[in-house]
Amino acid sequence: MSEIADFLRARIAERRALAEAASPAPWHANAEHDEVLAADGITVADGFALSGRQLRATVDHIVANDPEDVIADCDAKLAIVKLMDETLRYAEGDTEVDHYGALSAAEEALYRLAQPFGGHPDHKGEEWTP
């Protein structure tokens, strides 16, 4: 395995650990759109120091990066790192690498990248689930 792949795996694992330790997902904005609430109703973030459009945009950004979505993003990135690492090893002549397996890993990486967008009207749902 390449040094950069190992580095990326370690950083992604750190980010995933932070998400796993956070308040339970999914997160959502309150009715006034000035607080982020966890699945258990506990306030995750309060936008009191901001105002207007910036407040709502900040609350939306925090909601869009709830632990569930961050974990899905980490899984997708790990699949890409695996794919790229195997592709590089195969290109360097590593006969231990299964290039057909790399092709299925590429497909899985795309599915994982689409996972956080499951609520989007253009998402294909189960059709896009690995």
Nearest of 74, 66, 15, 58 to residue 42 by alpha carbon: 66
pTM value > 0.75: no
DSSP strands (E only) in 34-87: 35-37, 43-46
Tell me the pLDDT tens digit for each residue of 54-108. Answer: 888 888 889 989 999 899 889 888 888 888 887 777 777 777 766 666 667 767 7
DSSP strands (E only) in 11-128: 28-29, 35-37, 43-46
Q: Kindly tell me if the per-residue pLDDT of 43 is higher than 90.
A: yes
Q: Kindly tell me if the per-residue pLDDT of 2 is higher than 60.
A: yes
End-to-end, the C-alpha distance of the chain in Å comes to: 25
Phi and psi at residue 62, to the nearest 5°: -65, -45
